[in-house]
Structures are given as structure tokens and as C-alpha cells.
Amino acid sequence: MTDFTVPRARDLGLPFPGQPGPWNAITDVAGVRVGFCTLTDPARKMRTGVTAILPRNDAGVPIPLRAGHFTLNGNGEMTGTHWIDDSGQFIGPICLTNTHAVGAVHHGVTRWMIRHYADWFQGQHAWAMPVVAETYDGVLNDITALHVTPDHAQAALDVATSGPVAEGSVGGGNGMIAYDFKAGTGTASRCVSVGGQEYVLGALVQANHGRRPWLRVLGVPVGDAMPKGAFQTREQGSIIVILATDAPLSALSLRHLARRAALGIGRGGTPGGQSSGDIFLAFSTTAPDSRPDPDSPLLLRLELDDAAIDPFYLAAVEAVEESVINAIVAGEDTPAIKPEGLVVPGIDRAALAALFAVRA
């Protein structure tokens, strides 16, 4: 069972700017669904999993999604990005997991796509090139035991749903740490109004980055105010950011939007350490291109004017910043496997709330 009773950052009185959607989650973008397969077994030193994001309901024949990709620091992996960079699109789901599970999850997603798009694969020489990204969970999980299997990826995809999204120690975020606090999965959204039209932008992060002294929340030096439990002397983690929107952004605009995730994580204090894999993907769920007639070589494409994109940049920065803090706020004290005896603390929510109460 997923516990939705754990407070989120806004529940603690943290005054994040911007107007979120109804769930303040990536699932506020119509059609986007999120699923988790969470693997926890202390006896096996297992704390890991898979997070699945389904951008749209396209059973039978997949519909390409416009997308853009950006890497702030490349000590990490996100498969499928070469084709995204060249074509400006991808097909199928996105999955997040741990570093050593990329191959198993890629295999599982491929199996799921063959099953989910059965008509497409049977009718032509189709191929799958899934987007699978990772962060390292070896402090809390025996990553060399290869606990994640292809079946776990399929399980996460099969339970993906809309609505509220669990945060913290769920799915691929199960074994992750941010700013020396237990963290993991976090999400947020923003409503964006441009040219009289209403759109939504949502973010989901797998937060596993940062050192405690760096941590700032809405500009407040929280890391300095809450130093207890810090254990890292250098950056050793990573963060994956997925941005989704229903606005008709071009592939070029989505690449520029993905870059703004760097500003969002930077608001939390990280400089993007040399050992970090800070990798970002933005996609649009807008309707696919059409043709004047089936035999035409021409495509008709609806795109937002680049000159009108600034509100989406701001929405991305705000949603990413809040997603990271939501991931941290959801954390609980968790014993490490390496080094033995270490307990990675969950943030003291009451103390965090008190820091902002005195500023209200």
C-alpha cells in the first residue's frame, strides 16, 4: 500500500511560487500515468525498484512524442537519447531505476512494448528503443546483487495510473539520497497560461544528488540549519528529471525546456558535481503531426511560437525545485548497507516547517 498521509512540502507551509495542478504532480498533464515496482527486503540488502511513466494511452500502434534532452553532467545513463537528439521524438514509455538495472529494465520495457503494441510489431519491421534512466542506490541497496529483473519493469508499467503520485522511497527512488537526507521520487506541476490558452507542465525527479551544506530551500540555507546526519564529503549522486507538458512545443523548444531543469535543481543548491549524472528529458503530449492527405509528403504541425515560451521555462524551474523538496520531505530514517552502521536520516519535517514559520 502507498502511504499518501505523509505531508508534502506545501503541507508544511513552504511557500512555493506558482499555481500547481489538482494533484501537483506530473499526472496533471492529461494522459500521463505513473507506476511503481518497489523492492524492499532488508534481509537481502534490497532497497530498489522501477518507476514507469506512460506519456499517453496509445495501445496497438505507438504514437511518437516530441521530445528534447539535455545533460548537465554526464556521469550517468539515459538510453534512447541519441535518437531523441537526432529526430526530436521517441516512442513508448520512460522508466527510471538504479545504475546496474538499466539493462534488465530496458529488456522488460522492450517486452512490454512488444505486448502493448502487438499489432504494430506483427504488421511491420518495428523496433523498440526505450528511454531508461538511472541513479546509483548502492548506499542503501546491494546494487551488485542485480535485484531488478525485466518482470519488475513490466510490473511497474502495468500498474501505471493517473491521479496522485507517491513520493520518496517508491519505485526507482526507493534507495536514493539527496543532500544527505533520504529522498527518491518527487513530483510537482504548474498551470501555464499563454495566449488565452491554458496548459500544464509537470515534473518528476529521481533525486539522488547534493551535499548537506549546499541545501537551500526557497533561498533559505536549510543545510546549514540542519547539519545533523550529514555524511558525504563530496558529491557522489545523480538526478534524473522528466518534464511533461500538453503544450504544442517543438522538439527544439523541448530541448531548451529540458535545459531549464538545471536551473531548477540549482535552486536547491547543487552545482552539479563532477561525479553526478544530471540528465533531463522534456516531452509534449500534443497531437501528432497530420498530413493534408494520406499520400502527401507534407506534414502539418502546430507549434507554440518560441517567443511565447518564457512562462514554460519558469514553470519548469519552479516545478523541478519543488519536486526535489517533495522527494526529501517524503523521506524516513533508513539504515545503510555501506558503510554499516550509517542511518540516512529523513528530514525533520517539524524543524523544516519551523524555519519557514518564523519567516511568515
From first to last of its 360 residues, what are the pLDDT tens digits of the chain? Answer: 456 788 999 999 999 999 999 999 999 999 999 999 999 999 999 999 999 999 998 878 889 999 999 999 999 999 999 999 999 999 999 999 999 999 999 999 999 999 999 988 887 888 999 999 999 999 999 999 999 999 999 999 999 999 999 999 999 999 999 999 999 999 999 999 999 999 999 999 999 999 999 999 999 999 999 999 999 888 888 999 999 999 999 999 999 999 999 999 999 999 998 889 999 999 999 977 777 878 888 888 889 999 999 999 999 999 999 999 999 999 999 999 988 899 999 999 999 999 999 776
> The sheet that has 65-74: what strands, in order across it?
89-90, 65-74, 277-284, 238-245, 197-208, 184-194
Task: Tell me if residue 353 falls in helix, strand or coil.
Answer: helix
Indicate if 278 belongs to the active site: yes
Number of domains, the chain: 1
Name 342's bridge partners. none
CA distance 190 to 242: 14
Query: Does a structural domain hold residue 271?
Result: yes
Predicted pLDDT of residue 290? 73
Predicted pLDDT of residue 1? 42
Indicate if 162 belongs to the active site: no
Query: Does a structural domain hold residue 4?
Result: no
Predicted pLDDT of residue 41? 98
Q: For residues 168-186, b (16+ Cβ closer than 10 Å) or e, as one string?
A: bbbbbbbbbbbbbbbbbbb
CATH code at position 215: 3.60.70.12
Task: Tell me if residue 316 falls in helix, strand or coil.
Answer: helix
CA distance 29 to 306: 21
Indicate if 284 belongs to the active site: no
Query: Does a structural domain hold residue 10?
Result: no
**What length is written for the chain?**
360
Instruction: Decide: 281 and 65 in contact? Cβ < 8 Å.
Output: no
- Which amino acid is it at 153? A
| Options 142, 250, 278, 323, the catalytic residue | 278
| Options 238, 250, 284, 323, the catalytic residue | 238
Query: Does a structural domain hold residue 6?
Result: no
CA distance 150 to 40: 17
Predicted pLDDT of residue 360? 65
Predicted pLDDT of residue 2? 55
CA distance 248 to 269: 31
| Options 189, 276, 284, 323, the catalytic residue | 276
**Entry pTM:** 0.97
Q: Output the CA angle 345-350-352, nearest 5 degrees.
A: 75
Q: How far apart are the first and last CA of the chain?
A: 35
Range of the domain at 162: 16-288+302-355
Query: Does a structural domain hold residue 155?
Result: yes
